[in-house]
Amino acid sequence: MKWPWTQLQNLWRAQRWPTHCAICNSWGPDVLCETCVSTFAQPRLRCKHCALPVLTGQRICTDCQTDTPALDYCIASVSYDWPWPKVMVDFKFSAQPAWAKSLALLMRHTPGAELLLESCDVVVPIPVSGERLAERGFNQSVLLARHLAKDKMHTQWLQRLRHTEAQSHLPRQERLHNLDQAFALEPMARPSILGKRIVLIDDVMTTGTTLRQAAGLLRQAGAGSVSALVFARA
């Protein structure tokens, strides 16, 4: 049998090999097909500080009205409801880092995301522990950040101090305590952080403790603003 050579060359050039949709399994050029994106990733009205869904006419949720929000802006592409937990598990644990491209594309197309990425100075992916990195071979947030704003990415500013239990497996109360002092700042980075408009990147935002803690450290070091762009919001 002869290879359809021209077709293969075109695919190679476009780097778009046919693949299965991660949700419905249909064949197509991307890991998320158009039908599934339009069905499961419709933008929702969300609180500008914490990305929780809000009612029409509301801009800020009641929690963020009561307490000082940790983030200037927080943008989430999807709610962490079916089918996204499965997709995120596949992305994290099944060693399919190529998915980052499709997920990052969805993040970029979320209302407000493009502007946030363009107007910031630095993009900081939420780090994972060395242990987790050894286990998976990659940090999913770094992969997303690389597709979102490679030139603005700093991976060394924020350091993970210790291995914390995977947040998604823990009840809410434990999740809140699980992150006590999980991060530190690279001491040499402090002068560079001063006045910078920073966007944190994470795959899943659950209680918000991770992002709150990271934002707190960056603010203490004099960051001009700290926002977040996440794929899924629980």
Among 41, 47, 100, 143, binds Zn ion (CB under 5 A): 47
Nearest to 80 by CA among 220, 205, 211, 228: 205
The answer for 7, left when phi > 0, alpha when psi is -120 to 50, beta otherwise, is alpha
Nearby residues of 17 by Cβ (< 8 Å), 6 or more positions away: 11, 29
Is 41 near Zn ion (CB under 5 A)?
no
Is 54 near Zn ion (CB under 5 A)?
no
> Rounded to the nearest whole angstrom, what is the least distance from the CB of residue 210 to Zn ion in the complex?
16
Is 75 near Zn ion (CB under 5 A)?
no
Q: Phi/psi of residue 82, each to 5°?
A: -50, 135
Is 74 near Zn ion (CB under 5 A)?
no
Give the strand pairing for 197-205 and 122-125: parallel
* Size of residue set near Zn ion by CB under 5 A: 10
Q: Of 30-38, 108-116, 193-201, 220-228, which segment contacts Zn ion by CB under 5 A?
A: 30-38
> Rounded to the nearest whole angstrom, what is the least distance from the CB of residue 23 to Zn ion in the complex?
4
Is 50 near Zn ion (CB under 5 A)?
yes
> Rounded to the nearest whole angstrom, what is the least distance from the CB of residue 152 to Zn ion in the complex?
25
The answer for 137, left when phi > 0, alpha when psi is -120 to 50, beta otherwise, is left
In which element (H, E) is residue 3 found? none
Among 31, 41, 64, 223, binds Zn ion (CB under 5 A): 64
Comparison of 70 and 221: residue with beta carbon closer to Zn ion? 70
Is 107 near Zn ion (CB under 5 A)?
no
Is 185 near Zn ion (CB under 5 A)?
no
- Peptide linkage before 53 cis (omega within 30 of 0): no
In which element (H, E) is residue 133 found? helix 130-136
Letter for the amino acid at 123?
V
Cα 193 to Cα 191: distance, rounded to the nearest angstrom: 6
> Rounded to the nearest whole angstrom, what is the least distance from the CB of residue 21 to Zn ion in the complex?
3
Comparison of 88 and 145: residue with beta carbon closer to Zn ion? 88
> Rounded to the nearest whole angstrom, what is the least distance from the CB of residue 26 to Zn ion in the complex?
5
With beta carbons less than 8 A apart as the criterion, state whether 28 and 54 touch: no
> Rounded to the nearest whole angstrom, what is the least distance from the CB of residue 170 to Zn ion in the complex?
22
Is 24 near Zn ion (CB under 5 A)?
yes
Comparison of 21 and 100: residue with beta carbon closer to Zn ion? 21
Binding site for Zn ion (CB under 5 A): 21, 23-24, 33, 36, 47, 49-50, 61, 64
